Structure 1
Amino acid sequence: MASTTLFRLATRSSSAASLFKAAPYTARARLPAAVPAPAARLSAFSTTPMRYSGAHEEETFEQFSARYEKEFDSVQDVFELQRNLNNAFAYDLVPSVAVMTAALKAARRVNDFPTAVRVFEGIRSKVENKSQYEVYLEELKDLREELGVVLQEELYPEESK
């Protein structure tokens, strides 16, 4: 409704003028306390339980590896796979071969070839030197051949130099 129409309506009718009267003042103490609505469970979109930032406990590398192996084993879709990979690579360490094996198997399970190739790109960017990357390639060679995962260096040899 346009503001001029609202003004005309208010001036013509005396009962319409009551629309603009302020509600009677009520003290805040007499109003019922607002009950916060329960937060929507974000875990409804994932099988991974929510982690709250309560006490920041130190996690050992073995605990980290076991946690991410379990998370990759329970991956149901591409979103979960990529989110878990992003979280695993966000730490200041290189995930273990067992974690990368679980990630590659999860990529195959959800039929996501590009993410499987990106796993090796993530490893290459996280390791300190080329010899460490070669160790990962050697350890994952059989699985890589079994799943048919091609490295970026093999796909684009001129770009990876």
Structure 2
Amino acid sequence: MSRFIAISRPLAAAARVQVARSAVATRSAVQIRNYSSEHHEESFEDFTARFVKFFDNVDDLFELQRGLNNAFGYDLVPSPSVIEAALKAARRVNDYPTAVRIFEGLKVKAGSDALFKQYMDELAPLKAQLGVETKEELGF
């Protein structure tokens, strides 16, 4: 049996060399595009306008949750107008749990109790109008 293993090792090495040669030939024939070179910085106002527009046009739960993941995925706290639009969208698609989760996400993104309280004070009229409570207000 060792005789077969000794024969197969050189063949495997030759196959690896052939694969490496073909990979080099393929790589040189492929055009590599640098898409990140044309990336522009988005201002906070543009970010806010983009997400308010997105949430105003949401018509199903999947799109709402996708938009929330995208909005909260950035390294910033979304503006109150974005949170308002998201809350209205959650009530429009009739999903109360997602509306409650928006406040949870806001609390995490705010990072401090003082900032979260400022958001809650500004959103209080809308919160009362839509009948949405936070997780703490619900007793959890």
State the TM-score bracket (shorter-chain normalisation): 0.7 to 0.9
Max radius of gyration: which structure? 1
The whole-number CA distance in structure 1 between the counterparts of 2:102 and 2:111 is 16
CA RMSD of aligned residues (A): 1.4
Amino acid at match of 2:38: A
1:128 Cα deviation (Å)? 2.5
* Partner residue of 2:108 out of 125, 139, 142: 125
Asked if 1:95 is matched to 2:75, the reply is: no
Q: Structure 1 or 2: larger helix share?
A: 2
Alpha-carbon displacement from aligned partner over 1:7-60 (angstroms, at most 9, x marks no partner): xxxxxxxxxxxxxxxxxxxxxxxxxxxxxxxxxxxxxxxxxxxxx977321000
* Partner residue of 1:105 out of 85, 88, 92: 88
Asked if 1:152 is matched to 2:126, the reply is: no
May I ask how many residue pairs the two structures share in their alignment?
106
The TM-score normalised by the length of structure 1 is 0.63
Match of residue 61 from structure 1? 44
The whole-number CA distance in structure 2 between the counterparts of 1:121 and 1:94 is 13
- Structure with the bigger RCO (C-alpha within 8 Å, sep 6+) is 2
SS in 2 for 1:152: coil
* Unmatched runs of 5 consecutive residues or more in structure 1: 1-51
SS in 1 for 2:50: helix
The TM-score normalised by the length of structure 2 is 0.72
Alpha-carbon displacement from aligned partner over 1:101-155 (angstroms, at most 9, x marks no partner): 0000101110010000001000000012100000010000010011110110111
Q: Percent identity?
A: 58
